């Protein structure tokens, strides 16, 4: 079995269950069939940490980007600097995470929009997909994505919690949809319906660790090894085996991020 955690923050995970060692945490995931990890950047200061983790591990990649809640002023983002970071190593396979989060911070919507748009433009310029964080900002997110897909933008809506209509609209733009441990939560019935309606060839799975640990580990600090629980839940909802789900989502990941097939 070969599964990929398409979104994790390896520089922030709690290592107490792994003898204080990131290597051990990754080994625990590898022992369960996890063959790759995308360590996601949240701001410019964070980039050197995620790149160094990716450079130290053959099965880890990273991204470069600014999270919508990172409190960065859009006008302070030097696009050419972000472009340099995104092109600084083959290990950097995506721009992000970036996007719009009106659930936690609707007041800064105008700034979030222009920060997001600048990063979409960079993604197009460097020819790498974008990792999109979107929460309660459906219209604005889709509108901005649609502005850049004609320029070659591709990407993923990560930790998806929105409606089926939004997922379908993003898929129409060539995007992928990534599901996290939230789909295992007891009150996530509507989201499980979204999963049931998603075409298998557009699905990715992720932990978003250290956040959002899946059932039965809910409340604990999330670990990349628990991407198996997320994948098992998706497999059950789609009525396929875990092996098949792993094969397809790993393939999807490699297609989206322009990596050679294994
Ligand atoms: Zn996010
Ligand atoms: Zn994240």
What's the 144 CA to ligand 1 centre distance in angstroms? 17
E strand spans, the chain: 3-8, 34-39, 60-64, 92-101, 130-135, 155-158, 176-179, 203-205
Q: Could you say which ligand is closest to the alpha carbon of residue 69?
A: 1
Tell me the pLDDT tens digit for each residue of 157-188: 999 999 999 999 999 999 999 999 999 999 99
What's the 7 CA to ligand 2 centre distance in angstroms? 6
CA-wise closest residue to 132 among 219, 7, 5, 37: 7
How much is the average pLDDT of 139-164?
98
What's the 197 CA to ligand 1 centre distance in angstroms? 22
pTM: 0.97
Confidence of residue 255 (pLDDT cuts 50, 70, 90): very high
Tell me the pLDDT tens digit for each residue of 23-36: 999 999 999 999 99
What's the 12 CA to ligand 2 centre distance in angstroms? 11
What's the 209 CA to ligand 1 centre distance in angstroms? 10
The pairing of beta strand 60-64 with beta strand 155-158: unpaired
Residues 120/108, Cβ–Cβ less than 8 Å: no
Give, for 126, the enclosing helix (H) or strand (E). helix 109-126
Average pLDDT score over the chain: 97
3-state secondary structure (DSSP) of residue 62: strand
Top-level class of domain 3-256? alpha beta
CA-wise closest residue to 260 among 83, 86, 10, 93: 93
* Domain chopping of the chain, boundaries: 3-256
């Amino acid at each position: 079995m070969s599964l990929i955690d398409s979104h994790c923050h390896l520089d922030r995970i709690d290592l107490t269950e792994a003898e204080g060692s990131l290597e051990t945490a990754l080994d625990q995931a590898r022992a369960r069939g996890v063959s790759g990890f995308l360590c996601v950047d949240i701001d410019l200061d964070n980039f050197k940490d995620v790149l160094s983790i990716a450079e130290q591990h053959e099965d880890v990649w990273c991204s470069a980007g600014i999270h919508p809640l990172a409190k960065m002023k859009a006008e302070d983002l030097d696009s050419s600097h972000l472009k340099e970071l995104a092109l600084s190593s083959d290990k950097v396979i995506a721009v992000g995470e970036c996007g719009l989060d009106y659930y936690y911070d609707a007041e800064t919507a105008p700034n979030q929009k222009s920060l997001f748009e600048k990063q979409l433009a960079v993604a197009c310029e460097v020819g790498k997909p974008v990792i999109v964080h979107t929460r309660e900002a459906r219209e604005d997110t889709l509108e901005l994505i649609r502005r850049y897909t004609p320029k070659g933008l591709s990407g993923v809506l990560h930790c998806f919690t929105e409606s089926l209509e939004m997922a379908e609209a993003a898929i129409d733009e060539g995007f992928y949809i990534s599901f996290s441990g939230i789909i295992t939560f007891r009150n996530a019935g509507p989201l499980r319906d979204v999963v049931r309606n998603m075409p298998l060839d557009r699905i990715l799975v992720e932990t978003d660790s250290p956040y959002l640990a899946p059932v039965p580990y809910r409340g604990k600090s999330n670990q990349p090894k628990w991407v198996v629980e997320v994948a098992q839940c998706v497999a059950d909802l789609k009525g396929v085996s875990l092996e098949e789900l792993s094969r397809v989502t790993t393939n999807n990941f490699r297609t989206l991020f322009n990596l050679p097939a294994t």
